Structure 1
Amino acid sequence: MLLLKKMLAHLFGRKKPNLSFDFGTVDSVLIRPMGHLVGDSVAHIAYIRQLKTLYPGCRIGVLVNRRSRPIYECCPLVDVLIEDTFAQCLRQYKKWQLYLDFYETYNSRHIVKTAILAPHVNIIFQKADKAYYSPANVRNYDFHCPPEAEAKMVSWLETSVLAKKCKLPKPDVSLSPCDKHLAEAAKMWPVGKCRILLAPQGSVAERQVSPQELAGLLNNIDKSLLIHSSFLLGHTSNSADYLEVLRKACDADVDIRLSPPTDLAQYLGLVASADIVVCVDSGTVHLACAFRRPLLSFFANDLANIQKWQPQTADGIPSLMVVSQLQPSKTTADFPMQKAVLWLNQQIALNQPAV
């Protein structure tokens, strides 16, 4: 195995550096995201907007898969979405001037794909050393721009060679929801009530706001506001069980329903159609920011995670991040709810439907 990886690094991991590249004129940029999860994809919208501001006429492409494609389809600044396969990379041979590789480690597939793409200039960012590959023995890049320790994910361009050559605009992760999916999502909500989307469960079972803690928040909503509020619980693999416990812990006048199963594109519409989003640290946090929804989020007391993935709310959009009172850990529990209760009551009052 070691011999094979050494051969791959030798055959595909070498590039003659183009250090004199003129960053003042860039006509095409291809992005390899750090991943295809929701949060990863939303973070890259910031880079796309910055690049399009720097180079208005530039053609921008993104390597995607089935999971991430619907998110980038909500960004009209992306010109080309390319399936991340060997066949598609071969079709893109030497078609891209600047290649931004945000993936955080090297692997054999990406080393070969980068060689197949053969961009004029390759910029890498955070590349953690692995047993066989590191930036020291895979020299397929022109510029290595590691971000500062625990930097916000959306800020990585700010310490890159691009920032040294050009003035970067402030990161902006805004997306435009699809009218079709907004119309579909509208059917999930009762008419004439403030729409509050609940997403207390993350991608792993351990990352959730417990039903009991969430019930403590909902039971403290002012009764005069509660009658005008509707809560929709996002559908996950075990959301029905979660809802059963939540309903038992909630007062009878808390109107909670379970959303129907949705694919990612439909879920984007659901988030964008909400008046308020209440969620645990998850992809929904970043979608709420992207669609400029008032956001109440709950995070574990994990400083490194918070610094990297804290909500990037647009100016003027209400947001409150509540951090666990536990000692530093990844546990999403024991939240101080007093400020959350006050914030949620204020937002429901502001988002009452017109009579």
Structure 2
Amino acid sequence: LCPQGSYWKRRLPADECGRILAEIKPQFFERLDIQLGYNSHNEAYLSELAEYPATLPVIRATHKTTVGQYLALVNSADLILAVDSGTVHVACAFGKSLLAFYADFPANIARWQPYSCEKENTKMVIGRAIALDSDATQDYDLEQVTTWLNCQISKLLKHSDN
């Protein structure tokens, strides 16, 4: 889970992230290991998520890593949720299932959309409002997001059972 970019404005708001995580099917909770990718604002972000009124799966914060550790962490994940950031592109390079959140800023999308955006295991969602810049990563169609996410988790869990 990498809802925060390197710049403090580029982030999936914690309330939207909470709404997404709250819609994960409860029967999946005990089989998930959700890790919040390192960012200097993690403590505040986790505090905001803790205030979310619904039950969320357990989320563990990762510590600051070296580049090698970061790459290993992304490579070890089955599914990545990330705002428009380097994590999106690393997930694509490793062929990981990916849910990527982008601002509705066409010039940025044309240049930086996920390489694998046309693959079945990749979903790029775009904010509903036209953005003035690429940092406006908010206001998504959360029904579309949670439907895709639950379907993807189900597929990954079935695959791991085989």
Work out whether the TM-score is over 0.5: yes
Largest Rg, 1 or 2 = 1
Change in 2 beyond 3 A, CA 1:281/1:253: closer
Identify the residue that residue 354 of structure 1 maps to in structure 2: 161
Deviations 1:171-227 (A, max 9, x none): xxxxxxxxxxxxxxxxxxxxxxxxxxx000001000000111000000011112223
Alignment of 1:1-355 (within 5 A): 198-249=1-52, 251-313=54-116, 316=119, 318-330=121-133, 331-352=136-157, 353-354=160-161
Please report how far the alpha carbon of residue 228 of structure 1 lies from its aligned counterpart in structure 2 after TM superposition.
1.8
Q: Decide whether the 8 Å contact of 1:292 with 1:314 is kept in 2.
A: no
Deviations 1:10-57 (A, max 9, x none): xxxxxxxxxxxxxxxxxxxxxxxxxxxxxxxxxxxxxxxxxxxxxxxx
Extract structure 1 runs of 4+ deviating beyond 4 A: 314-317
Deviations 1:123-161 (A, max 9, x none): xxxxxxxxxxxxxxxxxxxxxxxxxxxxxxxxxxxxxxx
- d(CA) in 1 for partners of 2:19, 2:32: 16
Equivalent pairs counted in the alignment come to: 158
Q: Decide whether the 8 Å contact of 2:22 with 2:55 is kept in 1.
A: no
Using structure 1 for the length normalisation, give the TM-score.
0.43
Change in 2 beyond 3 A, CA 1:264/1:317: farther
Q: Decide whether the 8 Å contact of 1:218 with 1:250 is kept in 2.
A: no
- d(CA) in 2 for partners of 1:300, 1:253: 25
- d(CA) in 2 for partners of 1:270, 1:250: 29
Question: What SS class does the counterpart of residue 262 from structure 1 fall into?
Answer: coil
Question: What SS class does the counterpart of residue 99 from structure 2 fall into?
Answer: strand
CA RMSD of aligned residues (A): 1.7
> Which deviates the most, 325-334 or 263-272?
325-334
Using structure 2 for the length normalisation, give the TM-score.
0.91
- Report percent identity of matched pairs: 35
Higher RCO structure (Cα 8 Å, ≥6 apart): 2
Deviations 1:307-346 (A, max 9, x none): 0000001875511111011123221111111111011101
Q: Decide whether the 8 Å contact of 1:231 with 1:256 is kept in 2.
A: yes
- d(CA) in 1 for partners of 2:51, 2:132: 29
